Amino acid sequence: MFTWIRYNIKGDKWIWLIAVILSIISLLSVYSATGSLAYQKMGGNTEYYLFKHFLLIILSFIAMWFAHKLDYKYYSKISIIAMYISLPLLFVTYQFGLNINEASRWINIPIINQAFQPSDLAKLSLIIYLSSVLSKSQYDLDNIKSLIKPFLWIGIICLFIALTNLSTSIILGVTSMLLMFIARVKIKYLAVLVLFISFGATIALITGQRGKTAISRTENFIYKKNIPFQLEQAYIAVSTGGLFGKGPGKSNQKNFLPQSYSDFIYAIIIEEYGLLMGISVLLLYLILLYRGLYTFLKSERPFGGLLSAGLSFYLVIQAITNMSVVVGLLPVTGITLPLISMGGTSQLFTGITLGIILSISRHNSMEEENNYSYGY
């Protein structure tokens, strides 16, 4: 067993370890948080959601393993195809998708009866595409013409996602700007990108499914008009958890807090395991960001470095956004906590995302070994 792991599990060991730890936390928290859901939909069979979630975690690790075994340079070609596939899927989702919580973000996969978010495919393919384009144009970034096509892709994909999921679109836009910034794109060109994204966000607010909801939540957050019910329950969970928590499975608010197993799973973690566990989870995500940026710095190829940075930024910004909502630092968004929240295909895409970072890390280690062998 250990011999197989030694020869088949490559890349940054810290990233593997963090993924395992967060998955264990996820299993414990989701099992506790889905108790009410199990009684409502499965006749009290709490093991049903535990087994389903465990299966998805295993599948996400399998996806991570396969993704880390593939040379990351192939993802550049795949990303272009994936973007062209994701655009019509995003449009179909907007028009005919499954309506959950007044938003059509999902398409149902008939054979396995599993909901799929096309935005997961779109955001992953966009980050890969941007990393590829910026790495190839690194000596021509002073020319605005070389940036027109990437700007258009960012604007189009962010707009299509924003029609049903404004918060995900904003995080993707911010990640795109960070990626361009570290690629040394001039500030004046980034200002043009901000205008692109702002224009798209305005259209989404006017024509999108969640425009009025987004405006209402933002106003409530700024002016403290009304505290949403789910946020109120999250505050109670966080405030009653104390330093060490009430203990595994002893949450009270899981019976009242909507989406306690997905959007607000962080509140249940703090209530049951305490503030120290909440801080530990935050630190794990920050270490994940550090390891992703370390991979960026160690990469000798611009594409690999930018790709590792971009994917790390997106994952950790999403995580920090989710945790910030729970503790009242941001308005309610509907963003899940990656690697911890109960999900469907989004967990598989998170596994693929980490697998790509590990593929870059694996390649960096191979290059270091080769350089050492040749005495460089």
Q: Which SS3 state, helix, strand or coil, does residue 159 take?
A: helix
In a domain, 374, yes or no: no
> What gap in Å lies between CA 33 and CA 375, rounded to an integer?
55
**199 and 79 together in one domain:** yes
Which conformational region is residue 109 in: left (phi greater than 0), alpha (psi within -120 to 50 degrees), or beta? beta
> What gap in Å lies between CA 6 and CA 338, rounded to an integer?
27
What residue type is assigned to position 363 of the chain? Answer: H
Q: Please give the order of strands across the beta sheet that includes 103-109.
A: 98-100, 103-109, 114-116
In a domain, 65, yes or no: yes
Q: Which SS3 state, helix, strand or coil, does residue 107 take?
A: strand
* Whole-prediction pTM: 0.92
What residue type is assigned to position 337 of the chain? Answer: L
**218 and 358 together in one domain:** no
**342 and 262 together in one domain:** yes
pLDDT single digits (tens) 201-234:
788 777 766 677 777 777 777 877 777 888 889 9
Closest CA to 230 of 249, 266, 256: 256
> What gap in Å lies between CA 190 and CA 209, rounded to an integer?
28
Beta bridge partners of 116: 107
From 224, 255, 285, the end of a domain falls on 224
Residue 225, burial from CB neighbour count under 10 angstroms (0-12, 13-18, 19+): exposed
**143 and 103 together in one domain:** yes
**257 and 128 together in one domain:** no
**131 and 268 together in one domain:** no
In a domain, 189, yes or no: yes
Residue where the block lists tokens 């998955």: 23
Question: Which residues lie below 8 Å from residue 334, measured CB to CB, with a gap of 6+?
Answer: 101, 103, 165, 167, 263
DSSP 11: S
What pLDDT was estimated at residue 375? Answer: 54
**246 and 356 together in one domain:** yes
pLDDT single digits (tens) 161-178:
888 888 899 999 999 999
In a domain, 146, yes or no: yes
In a domain, 187, yes or no: yes
What pLDDT was estimated at residue 145? Answer: 80
**325 and 250 together in one domain:** yes
> What gap in Å lies between CA 321 and CA 311, rounded to an integer?
15
For residue 352, CA distances in Å to 16, 61, 315, 359 come to 13, 8, 12, 10
> What gap in Å lies between CA 164 and CA 373, rounded to an integer?
52
Torsion of CA 61, 62, 64, 66, to 10 degrees: 160
For residue 269, CA distances in Å to 133, 253, 277, 293, 324 come to 40, 11, 7, 27, 14
In a domain, 243, yes or no: yes
**103 and 209 together in one domain:** yes
Q: For residue 80, what are the domain limits?
A: 73-224
In a domain, 372, yes or no: no
**Ranges of the chain whose pLDDT falls below 70:** 1-2, 97-104, 106, 108-114, 139, 208-210, 368-376
